[in-house]
Amino acid sequence: MLKRTFIIFTLMSQILSITLQEAYNNSDSNENYDKYLILDSNLNYTGGLGIYEGNVFIDCNGATINLEGGQGIWIYADEDSPSSLDIQECSIVNGLYYGLSYGGTSMGNVINCNFYSTNFGLKLFDESNVYVTNSIFINQQSMGIGVYTEFPTINGDYILFWNNEDDCMENCPGWGNIWTQLELSSGLGIINNNPLFSNIEHFNFNLTENSPCINSGNPDIIDSDGSISDLGAITYNYSIGCSLFGDINYDNEINVLDIVEIINCILFDFCTNCSDMNDDGITNVLDVVAIINIIIN
């Protein structure tokens, strides 16, 4: 039965997947943006994206972009082809070289984003100009933020760095492969603590109740509950718990992502308080069946 359920889950995951490039191709213009992407937190987005013209906005709504060990999201601009990227509430994971890169004269804002398990989280080249706030850089193999040459402009505040090889570094021309510590401007609200995600190994970036990210964000940004903003792509839910029966991952919805969470509990022994659907003291295939029935019905 468990094998059959896992097969069902695999097929559903494939159906609920889309490449970031497809989402970009299907997007329209809106406001001052040539491409305006509103992603669905219930979908799995895969692969990178290259932007070399126009103004682009990506709102992930807490969705994860899995680069699957490949190229990240990059943007390049020059005087003949100006370009910008504003991106928010995204978790960008598994990049071979970087999660996000700005080059040429490109510019943009990175707000409430998570960067996890890439080489460089954010990489800047040339004369790019980027502002970062309310974001988290964790488990980067090289650097959270890496700045090549002396010309990029990087302003950052209310950022958490944790367990990166280096947090924020710059490489000046003529120095070879020598990197030096970079102090962010304005540099307010920098935290160096474990963000305490719900289940980072399985890309559950919900904040747990003791997370240092809660109400530690930019005071100019207010969360939906009226409090000072949190760090990261997903705002902390104060009503977290089992009040919504079947909401295993605490996102206030019952869907295939909850099946993913409960199967992870069974296979990897990483369970939430709501995993035991039938309240028999253990989480097993019967709980998977129970949540599938809720979704179907």
| Domain range 239-297, CATH architecture | Orthogonal Bundle (1.10)
Query: What single letter denotes the amino acid at residue 89?
Result: E
pLDDT of 58 above 80? yes
Mean pLDDT of 34-47: 92
Q: Which residue has the higher pLDDT, 4 or 152?
A: 152
Q: Give the Cα separation of 234 and 105 in Å (integer).
A: 30
For residue 180, the tally of other CB atoms under 10 A from its CB is 9
Which residues have CB under 8 Å from 166's CB, separation 6+?
Answer: 142, 143, 144, 179
Q: What is the DSSP string of 95-132?
A: -SSEEEEEEET-EEEEES-EEES-SEEEEE-TT-EEEE
Number of Cα atoms under 13 Å in the Cβ half of residue 35: 24
Distances (CA, A) of 47 to 70, 94, 95, 96: 7, 10, 9, 11
Report DSSP state, residue 222.
B
For residue 57, pLDDT over 90 is answered with yes
Q: Are strands 73-77 and 197-199 parallel, antiparallel or unpaired?
A: unpaired
Alpha helices, DSSP H only, in the chain? Answer: 2-15, 20-25, 256-268, 285-296
**Helix axes 285-296 and 2-15, enclosed angle (nearest 10):** 40
Give, for 148, the enclosing helix (H) or strand (E).
strand 143-148
Question: Does 5 score more than 50 pLDDT?
Answer: no
pLDDT, average across residues 9-23: 70
Per-residue model confidence as pLDDT tens digits over 239-277: 555 556 677 777 777 888 888 888 888 887 667 667 777
C-alpha of 144 from chain center: 13
Reduced to 3 states (helix: H, G, I; strand: E, B; else coil), residue 210 is coil
Q: What is the pTM of this model?
A: 0.81
- DSSP annotation of 62: T
Q: Which amino acid is at 70?
A: G
Residue with tokens 């889950």: 9
Q: Which two tokens stand for residue 157?
A: 């505040």
Instruction: Tell whether the model's pLDDT for residue 127 goes beyond 60.
Output: yes
Which among 62, 30, 35 is positioned nearest to 204, based on CA atoms?
A: 62
- pLDDT tens column, 59-115: 999 999 999 999 999 999 999 999 999 999 999 999 999 999 999 999 999 999 999
Most confident of the ranges 105-114, 144-153, 180-189: 105-114
Which among 263, 267, 269, 268 has a CA at the least distance from the CA of 277?
263
pLDDT score at 270: 66
